[in-house]
Structure 1
Amino acid sequence: MSYALVILEAHGARADRGLEGGQAAYAAMLAFAQQLKERGQLVMTQALSTEQTRVRRSAQGVEVLDGPFTEAKELVGGIFVLQNVDRDQALRIAAECPAAAWATVELRALGPCFT
């Protein structure tokens, strides 16, 4: 089965880490991704920018809203897409993720949206 690990960070967490802390966190995440790749469990991973834009469509047209969005307490900092794992394995991988030390790692099964 396939799963996504969604890294949810508090607003400002990256800035609070500073340059040295950010570089150390990034290196840990790269090493983690490499381990998953070597085990054949990683489809892809990507850090996400803190810039945010929302697009909404209604009968009145399309509305584009640029962030930051003050109502959001967290932002999606990155994702890992896993393959060839069951739920228990995915939970163990989420617990091993370095980001679990400074962020929330949310586990989501991938599948059809109509079930």
Structure 2
Amino acid sequence: MMEIRVFSLVLLLVLSAALPAEAQNWDAFLKKHINENMRAKDCNKVIKVMEINKPGNPCKSLNSIIKAKETEVKAVCNGTGKLVIGNRYESIESFNVITCISGTKNPCQYEGRESRLHIILA
């Protein structure tokens, strides 16, 4: 249980690491962090299609993608989650989350790992 809480906190930090303007924009969050058809083996393709790594910027070392419908994720903040602190809501149910982690030799090549986690949204 403690491992899930720690990873949920890490996920929160990763998801909120975007610039403040992006963090408040649902469309940008949706594009970069929600994909109900995501598979761990698709990290390279999906990150390219989502344009998470832009030309001239270093490749992100980590990107978490919630494998769920947009409505299911939105519901965490609108009734199915519990208020944790401030405007942060934790899901009561766990979600499948694909974590795309960049390689050490080639930082723009990703390996995906799927986990079942509680998510925290702001």
What TM-score do you get using the length of structure 1 for normalisation?
Answer: 0.30
Q: Which has the higher contact order (CA 8 A, sep 6+)?
A: 1
What TM-score do you get using the length of structure 2 for normalisation?
Answer: 0.29
